[in-house]
């Protein structure tokens, strides 16, 4: 994989953290789940999850709202 591919993977990894690990931890300390936690519980265990829109509004809000603050995708629920 080339440099650009590695950069894209790193960016996607960072964006999936939403506001970052500190905000995720604070959410969990309050007894709340993140959107991705809730999706993990909703979707069938072995189902494929295809996230779309992860790069939407990237750098538009000074990093304050990765993915425009929305998690969107396609998965299986039976």
For 19-64, the pLDDT digits (tens) are: 788 989 999 999 999 988 999 999 998 888 999 988 887 777 776 6
Nearest to 67 by CA among 22, 75, 23, 59: 59
Domain that includes residue 46, residue range: 3-74
Task: Read off the DSSP letter of residue 43.
Answer: S
Domains held by the chain: number: 1
At 74, is the pLDDT very low, low, confident or very high (cuts 50, 70, 90)?
A: very high
* pLDDT for the residue 70: 83
């Amino acid at each position: 994989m080339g440099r650009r591919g590695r950069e894209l993977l790193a960016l996607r990894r960072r964006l999936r953290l939403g506001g970052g690990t500190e905000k995720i931890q604070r959410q969990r300390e309050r007894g709340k789940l993140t959107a991705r936690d809730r999706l993990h519980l909703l979707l069938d265990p072995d189902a494929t999850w295809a996230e779309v829109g992860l790069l939407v509004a990237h750098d538009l809000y000074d990093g304050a709202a990765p993915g425009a603050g929305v998690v969107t995708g396609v998965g299986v629920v039976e």
